[in-house]
Amino acid sequence: MTAWLDTETRAMLQPAPPKKLAPPDTATFTLVLLAIAVPGRARLLATIERVVTCSPQEAIRVLNGRAPIVLRAGLSHEDALLGQFEFVCCDAVSVFLADDVVVCGPRDYLRDLYKQLLKSPEFETVSVLVESIPRDPAGEKFLEQFLGRTDCTFPGKLQILRKKARIMEHWAAKIGGRVTILPR
């Protein structure tokens, strides 16, 4: 799964830990789910099970919680980045912060921080046109990762998070497909 995290994808997710929130020398990070942009409960539950490493019942309990939801603490930067990627593929907004920020941050500070992070242009919904995806193993892997299914017809228009759209556009080009972010 880490094959998805090439240099360009890493830059689109979070180029470096935010210095104020997660200094580079921070040992571990906490992954926090801020919002779910599009319903996709079964896929999101499977992602929670995988990323959080929990049972299906625990995943349901986590998902039924009120956002923001602390998903998992003690993650390496690599695992936090991969977790963020997995959730954006499911149309969910997640961020990762230094463990100390989440554990020691006053409740009001964290509430304001999460609200501020949610306002990022990266988490706005945009329209994309999926013009073509190859009908080969790479194309099927792409469709499964980003759309959760392989029985898609093209061209097709979607409403997704800008961050996901940029990553899809990048990966479609790498596999010989075409995804275009449409102007507003």
**Cα of 46 vs its chain's centroid, Å:** 14
Q: 85 and 146 in contact (C-beta within 8 Å)?
A: no
Q: Is 76 left (phi over 0), alpha (psi -120 to 50) or beta?
A: beta
Residue 30 three-state SS: strand
The whole-number pLDDT of residue 103 equals 93
**Judging by DSSP bridges, how do beta strands 92-98 and 69-75 pair with one another?**
unpaired
Sheet with 178-181: strands ordered across: 156-161, 125-132, 178-181
* Tens digits of residue pLDDT in 39-70: 668 899 999 999 999 999 999 998 888 899 99
Residue 34 three-state SS: strand
Axis-axis angle for helices 137-147, 162-175 (nearest 10): 180
For the chain, the domains span 2-120, 125-181
Torsion from C-alpha of 161, 165, 168, 173, nearest 10 degrees: 180
Q: 170 and 12 in contact (C-beta within 8 Å)?
A: yes
Average predicted confidence (pLDDT) for the chain: 89
Which class is domain 2-120?
alpha beta
The whole-number pLDDT of residue 10 equals 79
Q: Identify any residues that bridge with 102 across adjacent strands, giving them in sequence order.
A: none
* Tens digits of residue pLDDT in 11-33: 888 655 455 555 555 589 999 99
* Token output for 121: 């242009």
SS3 content of the chain, % helix, strand, coil (to 5): 50, 20, 30
The whole-number pLDDT of residue 3 equals 83
Beta strands in 45-176 (DSSP E): 69-75, 92-98, 125-132, 156-161
Burial class (CB in 10 A: 0-12, 13-18, 19+), 2: exposed
